[in-house]
Amino acid sequence: MSTTFNYKHLYYFWVVAKEGGISRAAEKLDMAVQTVSAQVRELERSLGYALLKPAGRGLVLTDAGLAAMQQADQIFQLGEDLPARVRDAVSAPAVRLAVGICDGLPKLVVHRLIQPVIAEPHLRLLCHEGNLDDLLGDLALHRLDVVLSDRPAPVNPNIKLYNHALGSSTIGWYGTAAMLKAAGKDFPRSLADVPMLLPTPHTAVRDRLDQWFEQRAIRPRIVGEFADSALLKTFGASGMGVFPAAEWVHDDLLAHYAVQRIGPCEGVTEQFFAIGTEKKVQHPLVQRLLQPAL
């Protein structure tokens, strides 16, 4: 190996491989595409082998790239952990858990999924909400320990992910007492006659709800769509319209939002997943999160 090899070149290559392309890596790094590309070429030149090759509109790793990636994963995982370890060493003892939360996942469900670790002494819980693609990018860069989602992660040839099913819930229709009175008779056909609030189409459960309406020839009168589930429930509790919610957290829903159950959304379920990277040493609190589903 040439003495011109340096870890900065390796880091840029690592980000490119995780993101699946130079353009996405450049955006992640907030750098020019040409700069990132040049740094990767310098690494290939110093190693003497091509590390990436075109595949469709993106890039995949060569055999040499896979070998380099395995080493880079270990190197930069340790590097990502270094600031937290130093900080923890000079401060009060803390157990840090960084959780990515898919923005379509109901917040009451998130609270229930995280319950197994809440009682951990000296816990420092960091929650980051965003869309699934961005969260998986941060997971690949070891900025997150686990991602909670309403759908499994898509297959990515450049990173080994696991999808662990945490459970599922039936869906029910909820609303204020006035909405219950308006929609309670001739349910579920009555849902066509009341204003309705729904999650935005990017959520996994929205596709199932749309199919449910189509199967029953119900044309919903949609007055609001929300990416944030807590915001949807807040507007529903104000009387703006009926809304769907996971019955898994029925009691919490009634206690927090002062609404009532109108009826079931038969055949529609919402699924919950923990997504992580395949590491040699798994975070002990992530292991605890997975235990209820074992």
* Band of residue 294 on the pLDDT scale cut at 50, 70, 90: very low
Is the model's pLDDT at 2 over the cut of 50? no
Question: 251: domain range?
Answer: 168-269
Residues 179-203 have a mean pLDDT of 93
The pLDDT-based confidence of 91 (bands split at 50, 70, 90) is low
Query: Domain for residue 1, yes or no?
Result: no
Q: Based on the fold, state whether residues 200 and 212 are members of the same structural domain.
A: yes
For residue range 147-163, what is the model confidence (pLDDT) as tens digits?
A: 999 999 988 777 788 89
Residue 231 has pLDDT above 70, yes or no: yes
Beta bridge partners of 245: 172
Q: Could you tell me if 59 and 115 lie in one domain? A: no
Do 94 and 161 fall into the same domain?
Answer: yes
First to last CA, the chain: 46
Same domain? 260 vs 135: no
Instruction: Indicate whether 136 belongs to any domain.
Output: yes
**Bigger pLDDT: 6 or 71?**
71
| Domain containing residue 61: CATH number | 1.10.10.10
> How many domains in the chain?
3
63/25 same-domain check: yes
Asked if the structure places residue 21 within a domain, the reply is yes
Distance CA 219, CA 250 (A): 26
- pLDDT on residue 81: 75
Q: Does residue 38 lie in a domain region?
A: yes
Contact in structure between 105 and 149 (CB atoms under 8 Å):
yes
- 58 part of a folded domain: yes
Quote the pLDDT of residue 234: 94
Residue where one domain finishes, among candidates 48, 80, 112: 80
Q: Which residues on neighbouring strands pair with residue 146, listed in sequence order?
A: 99
Q: What number of other Cβ atoms are within 10 A of residue 91's Cβ?
A: 9
| Residue 244 φ then ψ, to 5° | -90, 150
- Please tell me the predicted confidence (pLDDT) of residue 104: 84
Write out pLDDT tens, residues 268-291.
999 999 999 876 557 889 988 887
